[in-house]
Amino acid sequence: MPYFILALAVLAETIGTTALQASQAFTRPLPSLVVVIAYAAAFYLLGQALRFFPVGIAYAIWSGLGIVLIAVIGYAVFGQKLDLPAVLGMAMIMAGILVIHLFSASASH
């Protein structure tokens, strides 16, 4: 259950950030409202996840997965391109998350 809560927090943060791009600097009301609701949900869920994870572990997973998901959405939805160093950097982020999940005694399993 802790990972599910953290995954929901990542999903909410990803929705919020996607809506932030779509809000065009808060000039569009509906995406702007989605930003506020999604970020509120993301922080609430992250707070709930902190009952099970140390803050550094939870934040590393939350922010790392969010970065990668937003980059994929940016490419697929907004046509934003990534160069090789950006892709390699995100691959290292994903590798770090896997190391934490698979090998760290600090992460609850």
What's the pTM?
A: 0.86
107 has a pLDDT exceeding 90: no
Phi, psi dihedrals of residue 4, rounded to the nearest 5°: -65, -45
Proportion of the chain above pLDDT 90, given as a percent? 83
Give the residue extent of every domain in the chain.
2-103
Could you write out the DSSP letters of every residue in 49-60? Answer: HTTTS-HHHHHH
